[in-house]
Each structure stands twice: as structure tokens, then as C-alpha cells.
Amino acid sequence: MGSKIPIKWPREVTAAFVEQLIRAEKDVQKAVLIFDAATAEYSNGFRHDRSTFGLIISRLLSANHFNLAEEMLVRMKDENCKITEDIFLSIYRAYGRVHKPLEVIRVFQKMKEYDCEPTQKSYITVFSVLVDENRLKTAFRFYRYMRGVGIPPCVASLNILIKALCKNSGTIDSAFRIFHEMPKRGFTPDSYTYGTLINGLCRSGKAPEAKELLMEMEANDCSPTVVTYTCLIRGFCQSNNLDEAMGLLEDMRSKGIEPNVFTYSSLMDGLCKGGRSSEAMELLEIMIHKHKVPNMITYSTLIHGLCGEGKIGEALEIFDRMKLQGCKPDAGLYWKVINGFCENNKFHEAANYLDEMILSGISPNRLTWSLHVKIHNAVVRGLCAVNDPKRAFQLYLSMRTRAISVEAKSFETLVNHFCKKGDVRKVARIVEEMLTDGCIPDEQTWTVVVGGFWDRRKVREAADLVQADLMCKHMDLGT
């Protein structure tokens, strides 16, 4: 990229004109070049102010260019441009968005270096990020520091403190103590306060108490939101009180509160886990009719539930609908579908979906590696069970090529199957690769192998395998 941007600059460059150019440029790096070009165009001409600096810093933060954004702060200081608190607030929120709470603390501690005195807003924003990121020990220390330097409590800071205490079932009583003390200290709990406590109770398995708090909330003229109802619905679903959860859905509709995709997904999850996947399917149709687009969680929930009830055909319909919508299934969903086929003894279909998964480029990572191993091994054994050794062996070879571990049980299944078929070459290869992988056949497997070789009058091969067995035992004894 060049250092010059082809722009026809007016004789008098204004901040409004520079801002217009920066906003219009979609590429953030080019926007920085425009920012630099504005001051370079005329000597002793345009100088950036808080508005143009603030805009370019905002663009950089949105693109996660944090180092460049902080360099702009230094530049503001060097150019004697007044740095206001709102710029720091945007930096705190940006670091919070990418889950870097310690960077928030670091920047907060540098505020005074830039002649910017933090107000209550900065303290509350930093406190909120720490709580949201579950850095609770640091958050409580920061709250004590905040109070120590004279920042007075307010509804916003008390709400965040209550949220922190609600994250642990052991401290939820402390959250309620603060809640009950708020009116005595001149603070009125708001919808956020009630919603936080309701969520905390539901997370602690106390959905009935949460519902009582909902009624108290409404009695105090605090309107519940869709988030409040979704928390309650999820809480009753987790305690398997599905009828109560369904009742809450009707209740929120009657009050004009429109359920969102998370509300429907939470209820579907509960219904599927409760063996009521047909009702969950009905909810999906209602959801789509109301123009709520199902997400990955919605589809995953339904597929898991339907497969769990053995409704593999309906699960496949959802699976296909999901792909048509553009949602890419992950290894977990493929595993659920493939496992559903395996449980219904449809191993050829399982192998087909395994091929589809591989062709779709879904490769194992650190989190899904064990899942891939289970999927492949289950299908290998299944194909042997339905007497398709050719495809089982092809999958076995594919696993070895892609370094997917072959389980001892799969080795044994293949050996048994090919011994019965009299394919001693494949047996010899599998046993050799089994030993190479450090998987020592048990006595029963050796008996099958040697017996199979003797039956085929392959005495030399049998003798070689017996010798290999003796060598392995010798190595195991460490002699």
C-alpha cells in the first residue's frame, strides 16, 4: 500500500471534512492514511482535534488494532490535544469485548499520565468488565479501592456488585442483603437489579424463588424484559418443570413481550431433554412463522433431542434444513447423527455421513480430536458388524493416513473379522500395525489369530506371530 491517498483536498481542510472521509473509507488502514494525509497536505494548516482523533481511535478499536489505537493516544498527548474520558471508556469496552480484562486495568492505571482524571464512569466501566470476565477477586479488590478513593455507590455500581455475588451460589445471600439494603440507602432497585437476582437464583437451581421475585418485580412497577423471562424459562427447564416453563412463554406473550431466538432455544432444549422433542419441533415452526431465524444452538438442540429419542429421520430433516440455511455443522453434530445411525444399526448411512464430514473439511482440533476418534472407531466396528469388511478396512486405512488413533477394540474387531474370512494378509498387516502402535493384543486375540493361521495351514506365519508375542511379553517384563 502506498503512503499517499489520491484525494482532492480543499484549500481549507476542516475537521468535518476529514471525519467524512474517514467514515466513508471501509479499510481501516486506508482510513489511517487519510488521517495522516490531512495534516501533511498543507504546511501550517490542519491540525487534528478531539473529534478526529476520537474517530480514528474508534475505527482502530473496532478492527482490534489496539496497539495502533494506543499509539494515537500518545500522539494526542504529544500534539497537546486534550484527551477526554470518553476515549478511555471506548478502550475499556473494546478490551472487554475481546476478553482482556487485565489490559483494561493497565490502561486505567495510565489515565493520569494523559492528564485525564477518572470519574465514576471509568470506575464503573472497569468494574463491570472485570465482573463480566469472571475476574471476581480482582473485581472485589477494585470495588474496595473504588470506594476507598471516594467514589460513592450508585444503582449502577451496586447492580454490578450484585451481579458479581450472584455468580457464585455461595455468595447469593450477600447479593440479596445488598438488594434489601438499597432502599434504606436511598437507592431504588431497577429492572436490571431484579433481572440479575432472578438469573442468579435460576443458576442456583431455585427457579420457584426466582418466579416469586418476578411477581415482586412487577408489583414494584419494574417491567421484566425478554432476558428476564428467558432466564426463568431456562431455570424451570433445568429443573425439568417443563409445564411451568411453557406457562411462562404464554405469560410473556400475553404481556406483549416477544420471545427471541434464545427464549425458544432454551425451551426447546428443555423439551428435548425431557423426551418431548415433538413439542420442540412445533416450537420451531412457530418460531419460523414469527420470523425468528434459528441459530446453531437451536438446530443442535433439536438434533440432539431427536437422535436421543431414536428419531433419526426427523433429525436428518433438521440437519439438512440447517445446512440449507448456511449453518455449517460441527464435529459434535455429525457425531450425534452418525451415532444415531450406529444405534439403529445403520452403519452404511453412518459411513456416508462420515465421508460427508471429511469432504466438508471438518478436521479435528484440540477440542474435537477425541470425538473424531470415537466416530471413526464406532463406524469401523459397525461396518464389520454388518459384514462390510471392504469398507471397514478402507476407513481403517484412512484413519491411519490421517493419524486418527485406532482403538484396541477396533483392531480386535478387524482381526476377528478377517480371520473368519481367511484373509491372512490383512490379519498380518493389522496385527503388525497394532504392535507398531504399542497396542498389545490380549490372549483371546492371539488365540484367534494363531488359530486362523493354523486353519489355513500357514504354519510359518503362525510361528512368526507366536515369536512376536513372546518378544512383546519379554519387553513388557523389562528383562
Interval 295-310 mean pLDDT: 87
As a 3-state breakdown, the chain gives helix, strand, coil percent values, each rounded to 5, of 75, 0, 25
Of the pLDDT bands very low, low, confident and very high (cuts 50, 70, 90), residue 195 is very high
pLDDT at position 340, please?
85
pLDDT at position 8, please?
79
Q: Under a CB-based contact definition with an 8 Å cutoff, are residues 72 and 60 in contact?
A: yes
User: Distance between CA 324 and CA 122 in Å, rounded?
Assistant: 46
Of the pLDDT bands very low, low, confident and very high (cuts 50, 70, 90), residue 2 is very low
Which of 114, 43, 48, 123 is CA-nearest to residue 89?
123
Angle between helices 424-436 and 408-421 (to 10 degrees): 160
Interval 234-248 mean pLDDT: 94
Q: Under a CB-based contact definition with an 8 Å cutoff, are residues 100 and 67 in contact?
A: no
Within 8 A by CB and 6+ apart from 273, the residues are 237, 240, 305
pLDDT greater than 60 at residue 352: yes
Which of 30, 3, 101, 39 is CA-nearest to residue 17?
39
Sign of the alpha-carbon torsion through 248, 254, 255, 257: positive
pLDDT at position 1, please?
41
User: Distance between CA 22 and CA 15 in Å, rounded?
Assistant: 11
Q: What is the DSSP letter of 34?
A: H
pLDDT tens-digit readout, 80-126: 999 999 999 999 999 999 999 999 999 999 999 999 999 999 999 99
pLDDT at position 449, please?
61
Cα separations in angstroms, 246 against 202, 226, 250: 16, 14, 7
Sign of the alpha-carbon torsion through 221, 222, 226, 228: negative
Burial 421-442 (b: 16+ CB within 10 A, else e): eebbebbbbbbebbbeeebebe
User: Distance between CA 235 and CA 228 in Å, rounded?
Assistant: 11
User: Distance between CA 55 and CA 24 in Å, rounded?
Assistant: 12
pLDDT tens-digit readout, 28-85: 999 999 998 888 765 557 889 999 999 999 999 999 999 999 999 999 999 999 999 9
pLDDT greater than 80 at residue 3: no
pLDDT tens-digit readout, 435-453: 888 777 666 666 666 665 5
Which of 87-91, 355-359, 385-389, 449-453 bottoms out in mean pLDDT, i.e. has the lowest?
449-453
pLDDT tens-digit readout, 305-327: 888 888 888 999 999 988 888 88
pLDDT at position 279, please?
92
User: Distance between CA 246 and CA 110 in Å, rounded?
Assistant: 51
- Cell numbers 437489579 correspond to 193
